[in-house]
Chain A
Amino acid sequence: MRSSLELKERRTWRWLLCLAGGSVAAAAEPTFYAARVAPVLDRHCVVCHGPEKKKAGLRLDSFDHLMAGAESGSIVKPGDVKGSELHRRITLPATDEEVMPSDGKPSLSADEIKIIALWIEAGASPTKSLADFPTAPALRPARVAPVPLAPSWREKAAEIAALEKKFGVKLVPRSQVPTDGLVLRSASAPQRCNDQVLAGLAPVARFIVDAELARTPVTDAGLKALGSWENLRAIDLTRTKVTSAGLAALSGLKHLEVINLTDTAVDDAGVTTLRALPGLKRAWLFGSKATVTQYPVATAP
């Protein structure tokens, strides 16, 4: 994890330099290497050929390192695209043993390969400016890193598993990304997921972003526990015994976006309470005692 963070910092730093260069003095116009070549290498290569791993003795995190080459020799021959090992490796068929990036990692896009090729062809210069490459394709912006919904649960996997077993509930990762949070899943045995269980989940509550509590015996007392689950985005309380009074305990959940109160005794007082939640996008109130079936009320088409 640390390496990607450092990577990001480095990228940001370079980007800031470019920005500064652009605005302070025209003389510091970004070089093609910094603006196009380095970001491609950063995106695809530096994770294995950088300060941490240096596979094959090769680092691609700076111009000097790139030109220094690998244990086996230089990988860029200025002016000779076909003769440059760097170009050869990134253009091999995906099934070739020598293809880079290796191990099934995504290959470079046609545009990215073209950027490398143009740069080598023009002499692999560290100083030529962006303007010297009018035909070079623009770089697609790097995919924006997903906003973390919760801290990574990975280190606490054992504790999470133990609590799942103890309480008979499931804490399911939403995705491969450990900062996408966990879903508290109770549908297999809703009757087991009561107020005490919610209180007992406190040690891992910060990882839970979605609490599926429909048809559980949860009451207002359980909502007190939920009130401290700081990263909750969604709570399903369908057909539970919660009331408007209990909803006040949720007032600190600034990320809460969706709450389902279908078939509960919640009334308009509860809707007023919910209205104060800063992040709330939708409350579902069908079958409740409230005078609206959802909040905010959908605009009629």
Chain B
Amino acid sequence: MNPLPPDWQQTFERYNDAITRRQFFRQSGTGLGAAALAALLGNRALGADAAAGAPAPWKIAPKAKRAIYISLIGAPSQLELFDYKPHLQTRFKEDLKDWLAGQGERLTGMTSRQAAFPLAPSIFKFAQHGQSGAWISELLPWTAKMADDICIIRSMKTDAINHEPANQLVYTGSMQNGKASIGSWLSYGLGTLNQDLPAFVVLHAKHSSPFSNVQAISSRLWGAGFLPGKHAGVSFRPQGDPVLYLNDAPGVPRELRRRMLDGLDELNRRSYAAIGDPEIQTRTQQYEMAFRMQASIPELADLSKEPESTYALYGDEARNRGTFASSALMARRLVERGVRFVQIFHRGWDQHGTLPRDIASQCKDVDQACYGLVQDLKQRGLLDDTLVIWGGEFGRTVYCQGTLTETNYGRDHHPRCFSIWMAGGGIKGGVVHGETDEMSYNIVKDPVHIRDLHATILHQMGIDHDRMSFKFQGLDQRLTGVLPAKVVKGILA
């Protein structure tokens, strides 16, 4: 924790004085206070990479240099994928109403008024895979093939019961709006690997089933929150050019564009000196990033040199822009070129009804490409220092939402346990961590809160989660917040 300087009150007063005087002198262009402002904002506004040569105080030796977060929006059912509960088969349709009453869990409004809560065993077959013998469902045959590369955590838990707060908790560390996303924290805390590309790129993958229940998501999940705007994730378009308007306008050669930007930069520098709004810097940095991306993006997006073997690995779907498979391939190309954090959002995992049909098509969208991505990273020697995370925002209930038949059912939201997997980046492969009770309702061994997951991700990336902070509204903001968070030591290689 950085204690406030002893003269902090005067500092704020001076800052307030300076603001008004700055406004007053703005026209005369004295630019007074630029130095004071720089001193006030320090490297906070500039980010960690500004102070080259002096590592940020939170920097620890990293295991991973980059990370890919496969974000499955809607909450994939742990009961259908990784959390095998064979003995439930004999309890088909057993009413859990009384048992649930004893659990003290608030149910969502979608099922709380159901007359009965019939137990719905999974209709999907499970088998043990790899040397680890991990139980994986038939819905994920490709993932099963890499059981020894991945670490399955069956004991994730969250505080939220609805999608938006749950997503915000997973991807920004807080159910409240306005916090900084994981990728923006990594950009802030570690700086960029390649100045010509954003440190944090977001890919939106299509889901193939027209029937999937789809949640809207917004840039809150990849925004910079209170961090300087340059750390926000940059969304690539799933169709056409990944980034729009990168080609120079007719009659504007690159040199002219450069001169224009230099001139604009000078003007922006002056107004930054006069007003001190960090958003001015953000804007300048966006112009510069766009200019550099004019050179870097075409090469990145040019898949013509990818050999046929690539498509054999990721699946033919990788040829179609915007699919999950093509996003996975793009993720590999991005991390290869020095993008620090790639987040792929794949929506449509919210199976309140017709779960068997919809989860099957969702799994088909991602399964082979996930395998392809991990194997591709591995064969290129990238997996050792690239952390891959696969998961949703919460779990699903053991009881059925709606009508339960032998072949069809739905499941409601369940925050107390869910399953994710991680691979590479110093995480042990072939490990199953944590255990739930017979109902896949409560965790009975090695619980991992979202905060612990964050602490672990940061730890692998070379950040002490306790020490990385950003002062905002008088608080030392951290991704892991103020409640205790611990690195999950048991899964580290």
**A-to-B contact residues, CB < 8 Å:** 103-104, 146, 157, 160-161, 164, 170, 172-177, 180, 185, 187-189, 214, 236, 238, 258, 260, 262, 282, 284, 286-287, 293-294, 301
Q: What are 13 A-to-B residue pairs whose CB atoms are below 8 Å?
A: A157-B53, A170-B52, A173-B59, A174-B61, A175-B59, A177-B61, A187-B194, A188-B193, A188-B338, A260-B380, A284-B379, A286-B380, A301-B130
Q: How far is the CA of A214 from the CA of B335 in the complex (A)?
A: 12
B52 touching A175, Cβ below 8 Å: no
Minimal beta-carbon separation of B390 from chain A (angstroms): 20
- Chain A residues, Cβ within 8 Å of B53: 157, 160-161, 173
A258 touching B194, Cβ below 8 Å: no
B196 touching A188, Cβ below 8 Å: yes
Which one of A157, A176, A189, A260 contacts B59 once the chains associate, using CB atoms below 8 Å?
A176
B337 touching A175, Cβ below 8 Å: no
- Chain A residues, Cβ within 8 Å of B60: 175-176
Interface flag for B1 (CB, 8 Å)? yes
B55 touching A173, Cβ below 8 Å: yes
A284 touching B194, Cβ below 8 Å: no
- Chain A residues, Cβ within 8 Å of B130: 301
- Chain A residues, Cβ within 8 Å of B55: 173, 175-176
Q: How far is the CA of A146 from the CA of B54 in the complex (A)?
A: 20
- Chain B residues, Cβ within 8 Å of A164: 52
- Chain B residues, Cβ within 8 Å of A185: 193
A284 touching B59, Cβ below 8 Å: no
Interface residues of B in 372-386 (CB under 8 A from A): 379-381, 384
A175 touching B462, Cβ below 8 Å: yes
- Chain A residues, Cβ within 8 Å of B52: 161, 164, 170, 172
For the complex of A and B, the 6 pairs showing the least CB-CB separation, nearest first, are A284-B381, A187-B338, A187-B194, A188-B195, A260-B381, A173-B55
B337 touching A174, Cβ below 8 Å: no
Residue of A nearest to B379 (CB): A286
Q: How far is the CA of A284 from the CA of B384 in the complex (A)?
A: 11
Which one of A188, A260, A282, A301 contacts B148 once the chains associate, using CB atoms below 8 Å?
A301
Which one of A104, A180, A294 contacts B381 once the chains associate, using CB atoms below 8 Å?
A294
Additional pairs, 5, CB under 8 Å, beyond known A176-B57, A284-B380: A160-B53, A177-B61, A214-B336, A262-B380, A282-B384
Q: How far is the CA of A173 from the CA of B131 in the complex (A)?
A: 38
Q: How far is the CA of A81 from the CA of B36 in the complex (A)?
A: 50
Interface flag for B62 (CB, 8 Å)? yes
Which of A157, A188, A238 lies at the interface centre, i.e. has the most chain B CB atoms within 10 A of its CB? A188
Interface flag for B3 (CB, 8 Å)? yes
B131 touching A301, Cβ below 8 Å: yes
- Chain B residues, Cβ within 8 Å of A172: 52, 191
Minimal beta-carbon separation of B178 from chain A (angstroms): 27
Residue of B nearest to A259 (CB): B381
Which one of A104, A174, A287 contacts B3 once the chains associate, using CB atoms below 8 Å?
A104
Which of B3, B196, B379 lies at the interface centre, i.e. has the most chain A CB atoms within 10 A of its CB? B379
Which of B53, B61, B381 lies at the interface centre, i.e. has the most chain A CB atoms within 10 A of its CB? B381
Interface residues of B in 193-209 (CB under 8 A from A): 193-196
Q: How far is the CA of A241 from the CA of B336 in the complex (A)?
A: 17
Minimal beta-carbon separation of A95 from chain B (angstroms): 10
Minimal beta-carbon separation of A163 from chain B (angstroms): 11
B381 touching A258, Cβ below 8 Å: yes
B1-45 interface bits toward A, Cβ cutoff 8 Å, 1 = contact, 0 = none: 101000000000000000000000000000000000000000000
Residue of B nearest to A160 (CB): B53
B62 touching A262, Cβ below 8 Å: no
B95-137 interface bits toward A, Cβ cutoff 8 Å, 1 = contact, 0 = none: 0000000000000000000000000000000000011000000
Q: How far is the CA of A214 from the CA of B131 in the complex (A)?
A: 34
Residue of B nearest to A236 (CB): B381
B379 touching A174, Cβ below 8 Å: no
- Chain B residues, Cβ within 8 Å of A160: 53
B332-348 interface bits toward A, Cβ cutoff 8 Å, 1 = contact, 0 = none: 00001110000000000
Minimal beta-carbon separation of A38 from chain B (angstroms): 28
Residue of A nearest to B194 (CB): A187
- Chain B residues, Cβ within 8 Å of A146: 61
A187 touching B57, Cβ below 8 Å: no
Interface residues of B in 298-352 (CB under 8 A from A): 336-338
Minimal beta-carbon separation of A142 from chain B (angstroms): 18
Q: How far is the CA of A146 from the CA of B61 in the complex (A)?
A: 10
Q: How far is the CA of A170 from the CA of B48 in the complex (A)?
A: 14
Minimal beta-carbon separation of A144 from chain B (angstroms): 14
- Chain B residues, Cβ within 8 Å of A174: 59, 61-62, 462
- Chain A residues, Cβ within 8 Å of B194: 187-188
B382-415 interface bits toward A, Cβ cutoff 8 Å, 1 = contact, 0 = none: 0010000000000000000000000000000000
- Chain B residues, Cβ within 8 Å of A286: 379-381
Minimal beta-carbon separation of B424 from chain A (angstroms): 13
- Chain B residues, Cβ within 8 Å of A104: 1, 3
Minimal beta-carbon separation of A231 from chain B (angstroms): 14
Q: How far is the CA of A32 from the CA of B349 in the complex (A)?
A: 61
Minimal beta-carbon separation of B143 from chain A (angstroms): 15
Residue of A nearest to B195 (CB): A188
Which of A103, A161, A187, A236 lies at the interface centre, i.e. has the most chain B CB atoms within 10 A of its CB? A187
Residue of B nearest to A215 (CB): B337
Residue of B nearest to A146 (CB): B61
- Chain B residues, Cβ within 8 Å of A293: 379
